[in-house]
Amino acid sequence: MAEAAAEIDQALEVLIPPPDGPEAKLFEAMRYATIGGGKRLRGFMVLEGARQFGVARDAALRTAAAIEMLHAYSLVHDDLPCMDDDELRRGKPTVHKAFDEATAVLAGDALQANAFYVLSEADTHADPGVRAELCRGLARAAGPRGMCGGQMLDMLAEEAGEPLEEAEIGRLQLLKTGKLIEFAAEAGAILGKAPPQLRHAFAAYGRDVGAAFQIADDLLDATASAEETGKRTGKDAAAGKATLVGLLGIPRAQAQAERLAAQAAGHLDALGERADLLRALARYAIARRS
Amino acid sequence: MAEAAAEIDQALEVLIPPPDGPEAKLFEAMRYATIGGGKRLRGFMVLEGARQFGVARDAALRTAAAIEMLHAYSLVHDDLPCMDDDELRRGKPTVHKAFDEATAVLAGDALQANAFYVLSEADTHADPGVRAELCRGLARAAGPRGMCGGQMLDMLAEEAGEPLEEAEIGRLQLLKTGKLIEFAAEAGAILGKAPPQLRHAFAAYGRDVGAAFQIADDLLDATASAEETGKRTGKDAAAGKATLVGLLGIPRAQAQAERLAAQAAGHLDALGERADLLRALARYAIARRS
């Protein structure tokens, strides 16, 4: 994963060039938000998925970088004072703290646009059908029936102050983080023009890893320190936020994350040993300490 | 234009369906920001451009609606307290006033994603190459070398408090509003798979109309009332904002807008009478009072 993260960082360096001209501040903020941070879980999934189908490394890296841009934009906006109001992200000040609020809004907006720009460019794939499909998949994962819808549910739940039921929490998290992870897992199969049943297998893998990852995130929030995770912890309980950990308790939530990780790995049975790294990723998602 | 605006509104009604489910508030805010307001200058350009090439009405309407979604998102974010801090837009309270700040950020984000979703769907055009090209064009117009870059320049100029030179103002406005209007003018030709020289003619037309439109906007800000325009006026001078009107004075700015509108019309000479409505639009852009 560290190797993949370094390669993705190199791709981001090229795709968000160092600033020149009077609008330098915008490019600086975009680079600050994306380069040199994060686990690159989503990007790693793209690269490993694409490897199963012999996709050219450059195409896979551009796609991975685009999805990481989209993810980074969502973090920048989620951290805004009017949203979760966070000051620490990936071990450094959030974008609106390091720059200012207007720049954070704009950098997020520009990262979203740039993600689509990268996916739609001919350099990413010679087949325009693949490029259109990538744009469609990213747009669906990012829009009101994906990430934005999930963040809305999250804000509303916090406002209402009433505990959500297990199914509601599941839906919230599927939208907020699951859809993009699902797309990251599927993107390699799209790039490789895989048959529908394999595409669906990768999507199902992504969905389960995403759900397991989210529970693990909530477990870390409940049990780890800010030094370990690089972001403020204990904030879910403090905010009365609806999580499966809060609802089920730590041991049952842990068991469910393990069940989901095993189920994720099972979706890739047809691929044999080639998919071992993706199976390992499902285990890592729940074993990590940051 | 009123007919086209009504058709575009109908398309938006379908593409952003009335809300159901717990995330209703997000869809409501997206609809509030897009439906039933605005001149639909960009959408009208798409429809008229597409008509030149015999493009199916539904394809043109979807593309027009997508570009209007993108435009609406930019207004929602520009009006935020951390940006231009505006309370009135299209004659009604801005989204963060009618809802709240978090919802305004999210509705804008979701509208951007939705614009790309609409352009990338097979319903918009059977040819995936056209869909990929539309996504690429929109992403470039919206990103850091387009709208977001222009808004950054605008904020920085206001912060610096130093007057910009004419060329700097021109570049700021080309990025902030010109690039999207240019793409709106070009989109019909993309949908119609027009030869490059016609595509470029439409883009040049859009660039000039966009520049003329911006000067007209600044003239309205200097001379019209909020009742006429449906938004706060006199704010450029109050904010010491860099505009060509401030730099050249009203008569010379007016003359330049007229020159640009005539130049815009000239780009469409090859199309003959068919393009009369687009030529009339160039005149309207500078003659309007709202």
CA–CA distance, A77 with A83 (Å, rounded to integer): 7
Place of tokens 């030869």: B195
Q: Is the dihedral of CA B214, B220, B226, B229 positive or negative?
A: negative
Q: Are A9 and A15 in contact (CB under 8 A)?
A: no
User: What's the per-residue H, E or C state across chain A?
Assistant: CHHHHHHHHHHHHHHCCCCCCCCHHHHHHHHHHHCCCCCCHHHHHHHHHHHHCCCCHHHHHHHHHHHHHHHHHHHHHHCCCCCCCCCEECCEECHHHHCCHHHHHHHHHHHHHHHHHHHHCCCCCCCHHHHHHHHHHHHHHHCCCCHHHHHHHHHHHHHHCCCCCHHHHHHHHHHHHHHHHHHHHHHHHHHCCCCHHHHHHHHHHHHHHHHHHHHHHHHHHHHCCHHHHCCCCCHHHHHCCCCHHHHHCHHHHHHHHHHHHHHHHHCCHHHHHHHHHHHHHHHHHHHCCC
Q: Is the dihedral of CA A74, A78, A79, A82 positive or negative?
A: positive
Determine whether the interchain pair A114/B144 forms a contact, defined as Cβ–Cβ distance below 8 Å: yes
Q: Give the 3-state secondary structure of residue B92.
A: strand
Query: Which chain A residue is nearest to residue B142, measuring alpha carbons?
Result: A113
Check residue A18 and give its pLDDT: 85
The CATH superfamily of A2-287 is Farnesyl Diphosphate Synthase (1.10.600.10)
Determine whether the interchain pair A144/B26 forms a contact, defined as Cβ–Cβ distance below 8 Å: yes
Q: What is the ipTM of this complex?
A: 0.95
Query: Which chain B residue is nearest to residue A127, measuring alpha carbons?
Result: B129
Q: How confident is the model at residue B261 (pLDDT cuts 50, 70, 90)?
A: very high
The beta-carbon contacts of B16-21 under 8 Å, at least 24 apart in sequence, are: B16/A144, B16/B69, B16/B114
Check residue B243 and give its pLDDT: 83
Check residue B175 and give its pLDDT: 96
Q: How confident is the model at residue A161 (pLDDT cuts 50, 70, 90)?
A: confident
Query: Which chain A residue is nearest to residue B25, measuring alpha carbons?
Result: A152
Q: Give the 3-state secondary structure of residue B251.
A: helix
Of the candidates A26, A128, A133, which has its C-beta nearest B152's C-beta? A26
CA–CA distance, B105 with B19 (Å, rounded to integer): 18
**Which of A112, A121, A183 is the best substitution to test chain B (most B C-beta atoms within 10 A)?**
A112
Q: Give the 3-state secondary structure of residue B286.
A: helix
Q: Residues of B99-137 as b/e, b for ≥16 C-beta within 10 angstroms?
A: bbbbbbbbbbbbbbbbbbbbbbbeebbeebbbbbbbbbb
**Which of B116, B118, B133, B168 is the best substitution to test chain A (most A C-beta atoms within 10 A)?**
B116
pLDDT in tens, A93-122: 999 999 999 999 999 999 999 999 999 999
Supply A37's token pair: 């941070």
Query: Is residue A290 predicted with pLDDT exceeding 70?
Result: no
pLDDT in tens, A42-66: 999 999 999 999 999 999 999 999 9
Q: Give the 3-state secondary structure of residue B127.
A: coil
pLDDT, mean over chain B: 93
Check residue B223 and give its pLDDT: 84
Q: What are the residue boundaries of the structural domains of chain A, listed by start?
A: 2-287
